[in-house]
Amino acid sequence: MPVSQETLDRIALTAEEYALIVQKLGREPNEVELGMFGALWSEHCGYKHSKPLLRMLPSEGPAVRVAAGEENAGVVDIGDGLSIVFKIESHNHPSAVEPYQGAATGVGGIIRDILAMGARPIALLNSLRFGTLDDAHNRYLFEGVVAGISGYGNCIGIPDVGGEVAFAPSYAGNPLVNAMCVGVLREGELMRSAATTPGSTLMLVGSATGRDGIHGASGLASRTFGDGEREMRPTVQVGDPFLEKVLIEACLEAARSGHLAAMQDLGAAGLTSSAIECAARGGTGVEIDVALVPRREPGMTPYEVMLSESQERMLLIVREGEERPIADIFERWDLSATVIGRVTGDGLARILDGDETVAEVEIGPLSEPPRYRSEPQRPAYLAELHDAPWPQEPPPGEAGALLRALLASPNIASKRSVYRRYDHEVQTNTLVKPGAGDAAVLRIRGTAKAIAMAVDGNGRMAYLEPYAGGAMAAAEACRNVACAGARPLALTDCLNFGDPERPDVYYQLAEAIRGIADAAKALGVPVVSGNVSLYNESGGEAIYPTPVVGAVGLLEDAGARLTAGFVELGDAVLLLGADALAGDPASLAGSEYLAHVHGLVIGAPSIDLALEARVQALLVALAEARLLRSAHDCADGGLAVAVAESAILGGVGFVGESTLTPTLSLLRERGQHRGRWDAALFGEAASRVVVSCAPDDAAAVAARAGAAGVPVLRLGSVGGERVSLGGLIDEPLAALAEAHGTGLERALAG
């Protein structure tokens, strides 16, 4: 008898998909089988609407050892017999329902993805989005998420070294919590997840299984929110960072023992996804007896055991006859390691409950959900927002007050109150700490090398032009890594969008991916891992389309690293990239200035990827030649904010060149279109970096920029106790630092 619509809704399957399951099986599925299909065919696990689009992303490169889609995370070679393993994932809906545990288990889950590759996790980053802080519920979500990240990460002993926090009304009902983890791997220690050898043993290690997280992948992460999301609290997992800490050590010891054939974490869809994915990758089958699975709650059914998303669990594929040494390892770490089944050669997923067979399905249909390609439709609002009139240019005398207001904006203000709650120095490898530079930098022990990492995205830009928003997210992540002096190696992406069954949302998704792909190709940086988070809607309203991109780069010499703050009195300050002082109104598109000061999200953002590639290559070359003292990306708030932030971080003022006074008469004299002083100071044109260098090196920096085809402009010099720029801004450094340092706390206090 066909199942009810209520049942299908609970596991996020359509009636058409149920009919397809019946067709593939040649019969009606039983309850356990249907639950497994619902989980594996969910958007969260099956990527039904996004997988065809993800093929646009370049995933190969000379340093790539494991590309996107092959395993749990991407792997890139950094030489000296070492590789870096990294990935970013979302835990958006769980964090909306239960912010502390949602964020905490998001951290735990991404750590296990890295662990499953045999790598030691060495760093965490996060990208967070919330509604505006004038709303009490948004403040509750913000506080809960930050507490969850710090509560889990600080206990587990992995430094949280970077990230971003942003606020906009569109995230009010659906915050974004994207977690990134980076690990290091030695030659010969890479673990795979494919179960290739029949007769191998399935061992479940770590925590006992409970009822938390059931339907997390299908019921929570793969549908939009209505009015009843509070009822979904039981679908949110509960984390135990202390258990995960010892699980990391035990799994790494097991991986090095030679007794493991493969390893997989239990994340979304729990035992179902982990076992079926291992079999699918290995072209084999699995037999699991749920009666053997250790449980922490009485009376659990086979359905609940197979779909539980209880945390801190891993599935080990152990070579036949070598179970005892693995059990001994976990016993030494006071962890359980239980044989629950075996790998078979018949291509079936056979689930037993003692002597009873409760499910028997071919691996192929389970692991091959339908793929959908919608007909994209360009959103109607784009034309209106692209053609919207700019607000009236304020009087030039307001420039200083506007700079202070922008520095105090929660999107620009210092996030010290957030990252001071994270332990960013544990493991003692952190060379550039949160807030000090555009990217975090970690030493690679035993070598002279370091790695830089950053995560970036801007939902406003993608909302106004999805293609440009995707390209700009990838470009900015790489630019921030380059600002640290590192050569970008590879990317990971987390694509946060609304309901893909809506043609306008599908357009946003497709165009943003195309933008990331074009940027990755232009910069020569492959995308080696990632995650797609769809159905981010509440009350019928989608979030801003928010592609978030993480980048990892390599410094061959850790001593060449750069930070963002000005360093020495008298240093020359230059602008590399597009000429900000043209005052082109188009640079205001999607800017924090328009949003925060004028309450407008309008314009058509764009990026010149060829120029971007030249700017980044130049930055790396200048850093390697030790010609720079600092580098800071012009991003939110534009040129004036970038200069002010470098001064604040360095604790020293800035004196602008008198020739830079950007009056309209000067702009006209230069033969350019009618410019605006507010666009010159606060516009957010891409591909621009404020750098400082020793006065004697300024000519060499300018010469190299010219040879590289990168515009360069002398902005001024480091010194004094004020920040003066272009005859429009002349503010005490202390006042700017106070606005920047207290803006977020003031917003949180209402």
- Averaged pLDDT, 105-112: 94
pLDDT of residue 9: 79
pLDDT at 232 over 50: no
Mind listing the pLDDT tens digit for each residue in 375-400? 899 999 999 999 999 999 999 999 99
- Torsion angle defined by CA atoms of residues 90, 92, 98 and 100, in that order, rounded to the nearest 10 degrees: 50
- Averaged pLDDT, 706-727: 95
- Averaged pLDDT, 691-708: 97
pLDDT of residue 225: 56
How sure is the predictor about 659, in pLDDT bands with cuts at 50, 70 and 90? low
CATH number of this structure's domain 194-366, picked from the four choices 3.40.190.10, 3.90.650.10, 3.90.1150.10, 3.40.50.720: 3.90.650.10
Residue at token pair 């059931």: 214
Residue 188, by phi and psi: left (phi above 0), alpha (psi -120 to 50) or beta? left
Question: Tokens at residue 153, please?
Answer: 């990460």
pLDDT at 530 over 80: yes
Mind listing the pLDDT tens digit for each residue in 278-306? 999 999 999 999 999 999 899 999 999 99
pLDDT at 456 over 90: yes
**Percent share of the chain, pLDDT over 90:** 86
- Averaged pLDDT, 518-545: 95
pLDDT of residue 540: 85
| Residue 293: other Cβ atoms inside 10 A | 20
Q: Using CA atoms, how far apart are residues 651 and 719, in angstroms rounded to an integer? A: 10
pLDDT at 412 over 80: yes
Residue 585 sits at the vertex; the CA angle it makes with 583 and 588, to the nearest 5 degrees, is 105
How sure is the predictor about 216, in pLDDT bands with cuts at 50, 70 and 90? low
Residue 49 sits at the vertex; the CA angle it makes with 47 and 55, to the nearest 5 degrees, is 75
pLDDT of residue 653: 97
Residue 228 sits at the vertex; the CA angle it makes with 227 and 233, to the nearest 5 degrees, is 140
Active site residues: 44, 91
pLDDT at 462 over 80: yes
Give the N- to C-terminal CA distance of the chain in Å, as an integer: 56
Helix 241-256 with 136-156: angle, nearest 10 deg:
40
pLDDT of residue 675: 82
The SS3 call for residue 135 is coil
Q: Using CA atoms, how far apart are residues 698 and 712, in angstroms rounded to an integer? A: 10
pLDDT at 20 over 90: yes
List of residues 6+ apart from 30 with CB closer than 8 A: 358, 359
Contact 341, 287 (CB under 8 A): yes
pLDDT of residue 674: 65
pLDDT of residue 1: 46
pLDDT at 222 over 80: no
pLDDT of residue 227: 44
Q: Using CA atoms, how far apart are residues 697 and 396, in angstroms rounded to an integer? A: 34
Mind listing the pLDDT tens digit for each residue in 332-348? 999 999 999 999 999 99
Q: Which residue, 57, 234, 158, is CA-closest to 426?
A: 158
pLDDT of residue 660: 66
Mind listing the pLDDT tens digit for each residue in 114-172? 999 999 999 999 999 999 999 999 999 999 999 999 999 999 999 999 999 999 999 99
Q: Using CA atoms, how far apart are residues 34 and 8, in angstroms rounded to an integer? A: 9
- CA separation (Å) from 492 to 92, 549, 617? 17, 6, 20
β 120-130/176-186 pair status: antiparallel
Q: Using CA atoms, how far apart are residues 209 and 600, in angstroms rounded to an integer? A: 49
pLDDT at 226 over 90: no
Mind listing the pLDDT tens digit for each residue in 664-676? 334 444 444 568 9
- Averaged pLDDT, 248-265: 96
pLDDT at 645 over 80: yes
List of residues 6+ apart from 347 with CB closer than 8 A: 279, 283, 284, 285, 362, 363, 364
pLDDT of residue 672: 46
Question: Tokens at residue 337, please?
Answer: 């390691």
- In the chain, what is the greatest distance between 2 CA atoms, to the nearest angstrom? 88
pLDDT of residue 669: 43
Residue at token pair 């800035």: 654
What burial class does residue 231 get, using C-beta atoms within 10 Å of its C-beta: 0-12 exposed, 13-18 middle, 19+ buried? exposed
Mind listing the pLDDT tens digit for each residue in 540-568? 899 999 999 999 999 999 999 999 999 99
Q: Using CA atoms, how far apart are residues 342 and 379, in angstroms rounded to an integer? A: 50
Residue 573 sits at the vertex; the CA angle it makes with 394 and 721, to the nearest 5 degrees, is 70
Q: Using CA atoms, how far apart are residues 244 and 248, in angstroms rounded to an integer? A: 6
* Mean of pLDDT over the chain: 92
What burial class does residue 735 get, using C-beta atoms within 10 Å of its C-beta: 0-12 exposed, 13-18 middle, 19+ buried? middle
β 572-577/688-693 pair status: antiparallel
pLDDT of residue 267: 83
pLDDT of residue 407: 98
Higher pLDDT, 727 or 513: 513
CATH 3.90.650.10 positions along the chain are 194-366, 394-423+562-750
CATH homologous superfamily of 394-423+562-750: PurM-like C-terminal domain (3.90.650.10)
Mind listing the pLDDT tens digit for each residue in 168-203? 999 998 999 999 999 999 999 999 999 999 999 999
pLDDT of residue 230: 47
Mind listing the pLDDT tens digit for each residue in 674-686? 689 999 999 999 9
Q: Using CA atoms, how far apart are residues 255 and 274, in angstroms rounded to an integer? A: 17
| Sheet architecture: strand order including 450-456 | 430-432, 440-443, 450-456, 546-555, 487-496, 527-533
CA 586 to chain centre: 28
CATH number of this structure's domain 51-190+428-557, picked from the four choices 3.30.70.20, 3.90.550.10, 3.30.1330.10, 3.40.50.300: 3.30.1330.10
Q: Using CA atoms, how far apart are residues 274 and 271, in angstroms rounded to an integer? A: 5
